[in-house]
């Protein structure tokens, strides 16, 4: 079964600084999707960024970027110029087409003013 | 972008009663919707996959008779918690996939169920 591991239960970052959240996964598949979701106190799951495994280029969305290392099965999220609104729980997720999402246990990010 | 509406956002019910939670895709059709349960400070646990026009697929350990899922149309799936007990108190979230957006899943805003 696929597993997703987030080894950092909690992280903190100074406002305007950069932080990297780690995620590793286990799979024998070659074509899949990876996601980072943000869950603020409202509990709404918000898509931050996604990566198709067949794409070598790392995905980028404004201040959010990923470092996708397919061979190492690693998918880290970098948040640049951190803002107070970035404070939330972040979940890494693996998705295989036609299958289900597998979520990591989450990383709670605190942004220090 | 795709929007999934989930209602109610909060509900308090008495032990032994049933509660229905609705999940609607507002601007797209969803043949498949997913229901998750989330305990405080924990990750999302998939409960079941809801398929339009057919029976839902439940994950191991999820009671089919307690958590009734109906996906009667391409835009609506419902989760009914029957004979609710305090241990059913949790946060329930649905998600749906926009077929026009490969890999694009949208989550509802969740329902906080409290059984007293």
Q: pLDDT of A41-87, one tens digit each? A: 989 999 999 999 999 899 999 999 999 999 999 999 999 999 999 99
**Model confidence at B13, in pLDDT bands (50, 70, 90)?**
very high
pLDDT at B41: 83
Does the pLDDT value for residue B81 go beyond 90? Answer: yes
As a 3-state breakdown, chain B gives helix, strand, coil percent values, each rounded to 5, of 5, 55, 45
Contact A104, A4 (CB under 8 A): yes
Does the pLDDT value for residue B102 go beyond 70? Answer: no
Three-state SS for A49? strand
The contacts of residue B35 (CB under 8 Å, 6+ apart) are B23, B46, B47, B48, B49, B50, B67, B69, B77, B79, B92, B93, B94
- Least Cα separation, residue A35 to chain B (angstroms): 9
- A-chain residues near B95 (CB < 8 A): 45, 101
pLDDT in tens, B37-65: 999 888 999 999 998 888 999 999 999 99
Can you tell me the distance from the alpha carbon of A19 to that of A28, in angstroms, rounded to the nearest whole number? 29
Does the pLDDT value for residue A94 go beyond 70? Answer: yes
Strands B76-81 and B4-7, how do they pair? unpaired
β-bridge partners, B10: B112
pLDDT in tens, A8-33: 999 999 999 999 999 999 999 988 99
Interface test with A, best of B40, B42, B43 (most A CBs within 10 A): B43
B32 touches chain A (CB under 8 A): no
A28 touches chain B (CB under 8 A): no
Contact B37, B63 (CB under 8 A): no
Whether A44 sits inside 8 A of B109 (CB atoms) is yes
Whether A106 sits inside 8 A of B42 (CB atoms) is yes
Contact A32, A4 (CB under 8 A): no
Can you tell me the distance from the alpha carbon of A33 to that of A45, in angstroms, rounded to the nearest whole number? 17
């Amino acid at each position: 079964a696929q597993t997703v591991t987030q080894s950092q239960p909690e992280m903190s970052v100074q406002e305007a600084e950069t932080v990297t959240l780690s995620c590793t996964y286990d799979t024998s598949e070659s074509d899949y999707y990876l996601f980072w979701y943000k869950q603020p106190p409202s509990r709404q799951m918000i898509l931050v960024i996604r990566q198709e495994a067949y794409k070598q280029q790392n995905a980028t969305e404004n201040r959010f970027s990923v470092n996708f290392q397919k061979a190492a099965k690693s998918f880290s999220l970098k948040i640049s110029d951190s803002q107070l609104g970035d404070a939330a729980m972040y979940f890494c997720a693996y998705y295989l087409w036609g299958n289900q999402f597998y979520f990591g246990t989450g990383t709670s990010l605190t942004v220090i003013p | 972008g795709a929007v999934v509406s989930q209602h109610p956002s909060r509900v308090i019910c008495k032990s032994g009663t049933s509660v229905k939670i609705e999940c609607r895709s507002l601007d797209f059709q969803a043949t498949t919707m997913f229901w998750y349960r989330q305990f405080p400070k924990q990750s999302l646990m998939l409960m079941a996959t809801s398929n339009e026009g057919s029976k839902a697929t439940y994950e191991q350990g999820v009671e089919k008779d307690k958590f009734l899922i109906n996906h009667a149309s391409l835009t609506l799936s419902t989760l009914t918690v029957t004979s609710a007990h305090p241990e059913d108190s949790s946060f329930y979230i649905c998600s749906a996939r926009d077929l026009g957006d490969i890999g694009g899943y949208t989550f509802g805003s969740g329902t906080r169920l409290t059984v007293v």
